[in-house]
Amino acid sequence: MPHRPRTGLWAGYAVLTACFLTGFFYRFSPATFAEELGRDLGTSATALGALASWHFWVYTAAQIPAGTAVDRWGARRSAAAGSAIAAAGALSLATADGFLQASLGPILTGLGMSAVFVAAMKYNAARFEPRHYGLVTGLTMLLANIGSVAAGSPSAILLEHFSWRAVFLGAAALSTALALASVAAVRDQTPDTAARPPREGLSALAGRKGLWPVFWCTIGTNATFYSFSGLWGTPLLGDGFGLATSTAAVYSTVALTLYGLGSLLIGIASDKAGRRKPFLVGTSAAAVAGWAALAAAPWSPGPSGLLLYGLVGLAASQVTVSFAAVKELAPGTAAGKALALVNAGVFGATAVLQPLFGRVLDAAGGDSPDLADYRTALALPLALSAIGLATSLRTTETHCRDLHPRPEPARS
């Protein structure tokens, strides 16, 4: 194994992870700000779902182009540009005086964060040893998840003292600072460790059957969780049980915290066990159990509610093992594109699920949905998670080894 340079390794890692962290905030904050956003902008549940879904639609569409851009321009410039674009999106949302300008916010944050994600993953693959990939990916997800936690209870507390517009202005300032920090601190791999350009096209990659079971089971655990925690998890407790936003946000915060912790622990456990498939199947089964209980079981705020929110959060930690399995299933020259393909699937499904959930609520409950209406809408993530469980049973066990030869690093 060629030596990988360590100069500035952790400084670059810290900045890229912080950039990635802001993406989680932009992704999940609509759940906490839903009531205020809807009131100020005068939107229905369907329109609010569409507004939040723009981030996911654009993020999905930009995944493959972002991978190409990062391969060409490197993690440093891509992360800086992505964070600057996200800052513009946060500023647009903060100053919006109508639905159209507000929609530009998640469009730009989705575009910017697509580049940040690929930049962070490329940096990790290039600068850290392959045997540590599960650990490093899990650690990245755990640290980045601070952004989603901040989007929950902490943001709800901020709303008691500041407007949602002020919060997004602060987020815009942070993303601007991180764009500058990326230029200063991130160092791309040197020529003697740079991987050769990808040689396998997207169509050939899509023909690899081993990737599709991972694609679908990751959608079943992560797209369902992202759509719920990113928008509808907090309103469910408010409309269904009368909880205040600050109290209801605690449940999503617990789920997101367990998602982050689980992402690290499952990566370590999978690496140590030398297995991927049992973890993919187990988390998929947990997702089905969690969504089924939320949709049909007699739960309420308190221990039972926290347990179910936490269960779907832990199930979503599957993503660490999914990314590791994808890297091991794809040829080394196409691993980045394979990761982008699976990630695009997750966010594309989320973009569909968020407004569809809202449409079911509008159809069932109109302007005042109740718990029964939310239970009806919860059949959507339950069905998607069931598909994920069925496909997880068909995943290929990699035994934590690359199943295709990796290219030797290019020498200067």
Q: What is the pLDDT of residue 7?
A: 59
pLDDT, one tens digit per residue, over 344-392 is 899 889 889 988 998 999 888 777 889 999 999 999 999 999 999 999 9
Contact between residue 53 and residue 359 where contact means Cβ atoms under 8 Å apart = no
Share of the chain above pLDDT 90, in %: 47
pLDDT given at position 44: 76
Q: pTM of this prediction?
A: 0.79
If you search the block for the tokens 């007699």, which residue do you land on? Answer: 298
pLDDT per residue as tens digits for the range 182-191: 999 998 865 4
3-state secondary structure of 331: coil
**What's the 3-state SS for 96-108?**
CCCHHHHHHHHHH
Q: What is the mean pLDDT of residues 176-202?
A: 71
d(CA 106, CA 104): 6
Instruction: Give the whole-angstrom CA distance, residue 287 versus residue 307.
Output: 12
Spatial contact of 267 and 131, defined as CB atoms under 8 Å apart? no
Q: What is the mean pLDDT of residues 171-195?
A: 81
What was the pLDDT predicted at 412? 31
pLDDT tens track for 24-38? 888 878 777 877 888
355 vs 200, higher pLDDT = 355
Cα 109 to Cα 24: distance, rounded to the nearest angstrom:
10
403: nearest Cα among 149, 114, 210: 210
User: What is the fold, at CATH topology level, of the domain defined by 9-189+204-392?
Assistant: Growth Hormone; Chain: A; (1.20.1250)
Spatial separation of the C-alpha atoms in residues 196 and 292, rounded to whole Å: 46
Q: Look at residue 381 in the predicted model and tell me its pLDDT.
A: 97
> Which of 65-69, 79-83, 204-208, 395-399 comes out lowest in average pLDDT?
204-208
CA dihedral over 205, 219, 311, 19, signed as positive or negative:
positive
pLDDT score at 347: 86
Read off the pLDDT band of 334 (50, 70, 90): low
Q: What is the mean pLDDT of the segment spanning 383-408?
A: 85
Q: Is the confidence at residue 194, as pLDDT, over 50?
A: no
What Å distances lie between residue 46 and 195, 350, 390, CA to CA? 45, 14, 30
Domain ranges of the chain: 9-189+204-392
Tokens 């093992």: give the residue.
321
Please indicate whether residue 403 or residue 141 has the higher confidence score (pLDDT). Answer: 141
Instruction: Give the type of residue at 374.
Output: Y
User: Cα angle vertex 13, ends 7, 15, to 5°?
Assistant: 115
Nearest Cα neighbor of 38 from 353, 378, 400, 358 is: 358
Residues present in the chain in total: 412
Rg (CA), the chain: 20
> Confidence band (pLDDT; 50, 70, 90) for 203?
low
Tokens 């903060």 correspond to what residue?
94
Instruction: Give 60-111 pLDDT, tens digit per residue.
Output: 899 888 877 887 788 899 999 999 999 999 999 999 888 888 889 999 999 9
Identify whether the C-beta of residue 165 lies closer than 8 Å to the C-beta of residue 95.
yes
Report the chain's terminal Cα–Cα distance, integer Å. 16
- Distance separating alpha carbons of residues 278 and 83, to the nearest angstrom: 36
